[in-house]
Chains A and B, each alone.
Chain A
Amino acid sequence: MKKISYILGVAAFAVAGLSSCTLDAVNYTEKDTSNFPLTAEDADQALAGIYQNLNVPNATPQASFYYVAQLAGDDALGGGGENDILMQAEDLMMISTLNMTEQFWIDRYQGINRANSLLDGINNIALSESEKNQIAGEAKFLRAFYFYELSSMYGNVPLVTSSSAAQPIQPTAAELWGQILQDLYEAASTMPATRRTDGHVDKYTASAMLARAWLYYTGMYGNGEELKDLVSTTYNPLQSVALPNGETLTKQQVITLVDEAVNNSGYSLVPDFRCLWAYTNRFTVEDFDYTKGQNLKWAEDDNAINPESMFAVKFNKQASWSTTIGYANGYALHFGVRGTAVFPFGAGWGAGPVAMNLVNDWKNYEPNDKRRDATIQDMSKLSGFSVGGGGDYMQESGFYGMKLSPVEAIKDDGTISVCFENLMYPGGWDVAGAENMQLNNIHDMVLIRFADLLLMQSELKENTEGINKVRARAGLNPISAYSLQALQNERRWELAMEGIRWNDIRRWHIAADALDKQQGIDIYNKGIATKNTAHGGGYRARYNATAGFQKIPENQVDLSEGGIVQNPGWEGADSQYTGW
């Protein structure tokens, strides 16, 4: 009997055991499309996920459009150390590696996919009509913004507007930009007429972005879509654009929305231009010779709402090497002073030194412009910095951009804090803690300012209205009549070193001439005085070979199985930068 009970035991055990033999695993950490997104809260979460893509390129800013726009443009050189051949390559419209900017391609399509996922599911979410318009408008805005950057960078990138898997096929520019403009137009015309100050974009931001996209597309492609049309020096902008929904978007519709945004949005200019920039923050302003004693107050001190900021990337203290460092402002780090910090400007990788041609042009055209000293730091005027001091710094010009730079502050005990944010937002720093020059730059990176909207209004309406408001803030006399030249100059000064100029010179068809001015200017390489010499045939040749479009990452071309054709100008030896 004893044996039988053993056997019974085994049998019972076997039965009990098998009853728990399931192959269905439980996912304790994720949701799927059956239970997400269903509620307004879900929609907010999905929306945050789309916005977060604004942070993502901050992990590898050197691959991003904003960065390329800064370095490839005529106002800045490449810079960096001798190992930073990517920076120099971007300045020269060349490549340092075959997949130099692939991360950005991947990142932005991720943002687009997040927007598509929310837009696909938005009708399943319990939302009021205005909530839905706001949320859908934000998602469309961001999708359009991501495509705007991708298309400015690479030209005819595959257009994906649904979260179900698509094949990589290149559209025409008209198809691609039609979609971008349609998204922005729908966002601008359907979102509630309420200014948001919480970091969300609103109807007016969408109008401003619509204007930016309109001006770029209608200018850049005014002569046609071929390379010869794009690099032509004729400026002949389109007056209307066919949208994929069958409607036509006219310049007047854009103007109507822009006027409304200028007049009714509640956005306004910050009275003093310098108060837009972090070096006027309350922990630094009175220790910086240039700003002290003038009663300046940064528009974003202590999380104040900057009335001029229409669209900005927000950062926080959660940047972490183990997850994402994009929660910190990576551009500030990259555009910081190479080598050692020089108060009030923090240390960084020294990307994008200001090109002498900007300084000279500005002095010639607008000698009394206060914005120049507020935008460009002549390093020879700061103690503790030696221009041409050596190290491994390449394309050193002696001038740094001040708008993007990390900013230090002096603590009560007289020591220096690597980032003023440590003092303004004490405590709660994640991971590497405070006083980390790489992770503590968390002030906003403003992408659309009200001043830009004013200048676009002038450009669209070909009047002086917006220009003169901007000039007045800069302490300059109004101009009496609108001219394209005056508009171009005003945009150059007002928006210098903000990643705007690159697309401006391309759409105005003045890029090759403008870029060529960088050739032969004085620089230092590793402390040795020299000239900024031609590579790959020179700036003009490289622009005319590429129209300013980057090489599509080789991996992405290869992975498309023939769906994507490489941009012109990127196959030959003249596109390869292997070192100065």
Chain B
Amino acid sequence: MNQTFRKTALMVGAFSLLGMCYSPKAYAADAVQNVQQATKKITGTVVDAQGPVIGASVMEKGTSNGTVTDFDGKFSLNVKPGATIVISFIGYKAQEIAVGNQSSFNITMQDDNAVLDEVVVVGYGVQKKKLVTGATIEVKGEDIANRNTISPLSALQNQSPGVNIVAASGKPGDGFKVNIRGAGTNGNTTPLYVVDGVVGDINSVNPADIERIDVLKDAASSAIYGARAANGVILITTKQGKAGKVTVNYDGNIGWSNLVKVPKQLNAKEYMDIMDMTRVNDGGSPHSWENFIDADLLEAYRNGSNPGTNWLELLRNKNAVTTSHSLNITGGSEYSKFSTGIGYQYQDGIIGGDLAKSDYSRFTLRLNSEHVIAKSSKGRDIITFGENVYYSHNQQQGIGIGNMYWNAIYTMLHNSPLIPVYNKDGELFDYDDLIAQGIHTDQYPNGMLSLNQYYGNAINTVTHSSLANNRSRYHNLNATGYITISPLNGLTYKGLVYYKNYSSVWKGYDMTYRNNDNDQNVNDMLSENMGTGWNWGMTHTLNYVFDIKSHHIDVLAGTEYSREGNGMGDNLGAQVSGNVFKDMFNYAYPANFSGRDGSATLPYNNNLPATDHSILSYFGRLNYDFAEKYMFSAILRADGSSNFAKGHRWGIFPSFSAGWVVSNEKFMESASSWLSFLKIRGSWGQNGNEGIGAFKYSATYSFGPYGNYSFNNAKDVGAQGAYPERLSNEDITWETSEQLDLGFDARFLGGKLALNFDYYVKKTKDLLLDVPVSAINGFAYVMDNAGTIKNSGIEVALNWNDNIGKDFTYNIGWNIATNKNEVTEVNNGSRYINGGENLLSQGTTYMARFEEGHPLGYFWGYKTEGVMQNEADVQAYLDKNCKGDANNSLQGTSIAPGDLKFVDTNGDGIITSDDKVELGDPHPDVTMGINLGLNYKGLDFSVSGYAALGQQVAHSYRRFGDSQYDNWSTNVYNYWHGEGTGNGRYPILKPGTSTNMIQVSDIYVDDADYFRLQTLTLGYDVTKLFKSFPLQQLRVYFQAQNLFTITKYDGMEPEQGNSIANESWVTGTDISNYPQPRTFLVGVNVKF
């Protein structure tokens, strides 16, 4: 008792220092009861179908007297006479056994299908699932690992209604665009990923290392992470050690990937015909092709013996190999547990191949262990220490797939089929070959380039530039140590400190080549950027759980501090020209560049410190329930961020939630035959966002690259200049996301059918926007709290688990989520922000808007009503839309049949930009996931699918605004070429700068609903064949990924998560994104 008291005193001291509220009185009230009465010793063994259950809790009912089972499932306990013991363990039905006269027990635990006693991970702790009052989703590690994906996110996609996960692209190693319950912010919508209690990155985690993922969707659930939880929170728990025999898991697979769908581009003959038609429609005459192409080649094109170049086919990598190997070793004792994982993944790209290697590899190492330093005589852990160490190294190289200026696939798709890849000598066809073609006259001095000065060999462009010659390498180390101290039952202090180090190297190498004056590198050039940074932080929490009769109370108080930068990170970049190993990417290191002393130049901003950034937080949580029937929870978190000016730093984020387990009421007992569980819950809360970068509030002078001037004819470098860096706004403060959630969870028919329902309204207020302002004060943008976005929707998840007979079990899961996204306030002068200029093609104007009353980043342009078929149709169009006057039409006096009918939406009789309307919404209205699983003896079969409905994609694979000479897909035959021709949607074929085509209208916006069969898996556990097999499991499996996609969208890929615009809120534009591969793989799971 004495010693306990001294501990208490120390704890009080420690926590007073932490500025936290702690009452020794409460502590004293629940002092350990030393059971000194007459007792009886009982012993026993707890087993399940597989063998001993280690760590099961054995409690004397109504007391705090209890123990846990040991290595062999055995326990011993002193109980009062007439006691009842309660045996429980996660995932099993709890059992109550009256001790009576018996002193030895053999207890067999039954799987708890209802899993109602399952706990879920919440912020800084766990909570019984049935008591959770917020909206959360939990996904088991095995349901992630068995998808065999590189990133856990792709496995999560169809198992988490309300979490929108869209692959950025199918390029190996590319990430995902993720938002929870709709895009709530203009900037980064990515939720907060918390890996083992520390903010981290989900993409670097090997799915095989994951124990479970918990998604906190509503504000009340995520409020405990207040500071950065505006976009929701995803908690990742990696595999932890378990007491018992050491188990070894190996999962390995190898697969082959292929491109699924390619647009059918015109061949050389078709191309020439279409180019002629374009020119004739434009008032010219057909091209004299012999001026540009040698006679024999032209003849071969014309008679079809040479179809011309199919550019994308050249980069197609057939049967690209993907492979994954994961080894997990878990084990430990009552005192010490460990879990180790090693993983290696490799994925080769389906586009790139030998010409432009595009692949990804990742190595991961995880070391988790936990040690009990002090145990009470009752078997309770008093002090435990543990650490989680995660290291990952990954490397990505491959083709650029950004906007139209940086996209290898686009470069292929729009290139002319008339240009050969190789010349007669087998070398890449280049400038000399281009100008050597055709008939040389004064009028056509440059051969093929006389037709179009932008003509060039796309393979030359890609393979000789950093579009293909680039490589990124990343190293991440996350190390966490923690200690928990539980001086008495129910009271736990946890202290956690972490250190993260991250570093990266990117290099890109441009080699020398010449296609034409606009597409050439005279000198080679290496660009290299390196960066390293760190982040440290600590968390202290104090948790006290106690019961007063049927009142269960769980209070938590904590503080957290994190800091990054602070002079311990550096970024460095260099650019050099003149490689001694000319045009050899693998030898492109600055030291190999000629004139080693002088030619290596550091660009501006070449060395920057990592940004200094810190957050300090205090938080508290009260969870209360009465007899597991009525629940209430309140959270308050205060966060201070260094990103704001003094006086605006602190944000306070409260949340409240309540629940009612209706099925525990007496009056519901009659329904228990069919309704096993029903909980109604509601929550309201607020979360914050401060992620704008440091010093945005302050008026500063910069000495960067935008202020130098070459006085004294200093041609090499300008005189150092200084200039105001930004329009300061000291008033900026936290962005706040406020959310209301109403829902229920129900289980029917003895738990076979589960139903979850949620309705939510999420408002993100005081959006931190770089908002356009009148530029007269020197800056076109200012960072401000300047907008509101509302997301609302419902989420339904249905799961059916059953068995037919003893051997056949099956489950069916279906979930659906709707979301309506609307910008309700843009607080600048214009009430809108434009985005997406030069996005669909060079020369197209802004095509996306952030505007009140519309979805975030909706497509903005002209509405059309088909194509004018004849003169009468033209007149009818003018009468209806342009007061009968062609001058008022967009096409002007040259308006003619074949032109688009741009609609006068505002009815003023003139077609102007005021008639532009919402043409589409890049966000899906509805997303759906379907999962099916069957098990029969050792055989397992599962299918997963995902659908996204109601979204649009803006789409063009041609840089039509630049030139009429880009190649077309066969979609060109849908263009108008005479009365009644075409599909009625596309206008007369003219150069892309013609009004019909350069103006952004709905002809570029397509519905992109899709359903994708994500995985189909068939597995068999060989050990079931033999009675005594040396392994616990030897499962072989076959899996098909992305087997098919059902969509009307005619581009390569309806899933468009790649943001290629300058504005991150502009999404859903497809100028030829890297499509998702279709993969077949075989693999093996071994467990012993």
Contacts and interface: CB of A to CB of B under 8 A. Distances in A.
A and B interact physically: yes
Interface of A: 2-4, 6-8, 10-11, 13-15, 17-18, 20-33, 36-37, 42, 44-49, 51-52, 54-56, 81-83, 85, 97-99, 105-106, 109-110, 112-114, 116-117, 157-158, 160, 163, 165-168, 198-200, 303, 314-318, 320, 322-324, 327, 339-341, 347, 384, 386, 388-392, 418, 421, 425, 427-437, 442, 526, 528, 535, 554-556, 558-561, 563-564, 571-574, 576, 578-579
B642 A23 contact: yes
A46 B538 CA distance: 43
Contacts of B11: 7
Nearest to A427: B598
Contacts of B724: 113-114, 117, 163
Given A31-B701, A572-B910, A48 B694 contact: no
A2 B383 CA distance: 11
Given A6-B373, A316-B714, A324-B706, A339 B453 contact: yes
Contacts of B7: 3-4, 7
Contacts of B14: 7, 10-11, 14
A2 B962 CA distance: 77
B288 to A, nearest CB: 11
Contact of A7 (B10, B283, B721, B964): B10
A199 B711 CA distance: 5
A231 B519 CA distance: 46
Contacts of B703: 29-31, 45
A327 B775 contact: no
Contact of A578 (B598, B832, B998): B998
A82 B991 contact: yes
B995 interface: yes
Contact of B709 (A51, A433, A528): A51
Given A26-B566, A347-B517, A528-B284, A52 B998 contact: no
A389 B449 CA distance: 11
Nearest to A305: B713
Interface string B712-728: 11111111111111010
17 contacts: A6-B483, A7-B10, A13-B495, A22-B614, A30-B702, A45-B707, A45-B719, A46-B701, A52-B706, A52-B723, A83-B963, A83-B993, A85-B993, A97-B845, A199-B710, A526-B284, A573-B887
B709 A579 contact: no
Nearest to B524: A433
B6 interface: yes
> Which 8 pairs, one residue from A and one from B, show the smallest C-beta to C-beta distance?
A113-B778, A48-B721, A558-B830, A49-B723, A435-B522, A49-B707, A30-B700, A25-B612
Contacts of A386: 442-445
B717 A323 contact: no
A166 B776 contact: yes
B928 interface: no
Name the residue among B13, B608, B777, B962 with the largest chain A CB count within 10 angstroms: B777
Contact of A391 (B452, B525, B604, B829): B452
Given A51-B721, A392-B963, A436-B522, 9 more contacts: A23-B642, A26-B566, A32-B700, A46-B723, A114-B723, A317-B717, A340-B449, A433-B525, A560-B829
A435 B523 contact: yes
A13 B707 CA distance: 46
B277 to A, nearest CB: 16
Please tell me the size bucket of the interface on B: 35 or more
Interface in B941-963: 961-963
A13 B495 CA distance: 10
Nearest to A535: B892
A89 to B, nearest CB: 12
A558 B829 contact: yes
A32 B995 contact: no
Contacts of B642: 22-25
A318 B717 contact: yes
B969 interface: no
Name the residue among A7, A322, A421, A564 with the largest chain B CB count within 10 angstroms: A7
B280 interface: no
Contact of B608 (A10, A18, A24, A29): A29
Interface string B471-494: 000000000000101000000010
A574 B695 contact: no
Interface string B766-779: 00000011111111
Given A3-B383, A324-B706, A200 B711 contact: yes
A389 B450 contact: yes
Nearest to B831: A558
A428 B778 contact: no
Nearest to A113: B778
A305 B566 CA distance: 48
Contacts of A21: 561, 614, 616
Contact of B830 (A85, A157, A559): A559
A303 B561 contact: no
Contacts of B1033: none
Contacts of A4: 6-7, 10
Interface of B: 6-7, 10-11, 13-14, 17-18, 283-284, 373-374, 382-383, 442-446, 449-453, 483, 485, 493, 495, 497, 517, 522-523, 525, 538, 540, 561, 563, 565-567, 575, 577, 598-599, 601, 603-605, 608-609, 611-616, 640-643, 649, 694-695, 698-725, 727, 772-780, 828-832, 834, 842-843, 845-846, 887-892, 910-913, 961-964, 991-995, 998-999
Contacts of A31: 700-701, 703, 722
A361 B17 CA distance: 89
Contacts of B700: 27, 30-32
Contacts of A98: 845, 913
Name the residue among A98, A167, A578 with the largest chain B CB count within 10 angstroms: A578
Contacts of A437: 517
Contact of B892 (A17, A198, A573): A573
Nearest to A559: B829
A249 B992 CA distance: 54
Contacts of B611: 25
A48 B719 contact: yes
B706 A573 contact: no
B517 A199 contact: no
A50 B1081 CA distance: 62
B601 A430 contact: yes
A573 B911 contact: yes
A160 B775 CA distance: 11
Nearest to B913: A98
A32 B538 contact: no
Name the residue among A110, A116, A314, A433 with the largest chain B CB count within 10 angstroms: A433
Contacts of A564: 774
Contacts of A526: 284
B400 to A, nearest CB: 14
A8 B992 CA distance: 75
Contacts of A18: 17-18, 561
A168 B779 contact: no
Contacts of B698: 27, 32
Given A23-B642, A199-B710, A17 B445 contact: no
B913 A320 contact: no
Contacts of A20: 563
B705 A578 contact: no
Contacts of B708: 48, 52, 316, 318, 327
A21 B642 CA distance: 11
Nearest to A576: B912
A433 B601 CA distance: 10
A316 B717 contact: yes
A138 B147 CA distance: 67
A46 B722 contact: yes
Contacts of A560: 774, 829
B702 A430 contact: no
Contacts of B887: 573-574
Nearest to A197: B712
Contacts of A3: 7, 373-374, 382-383
Given A3-B383, A7-B485, A317-B716, A340 B722 contact: no
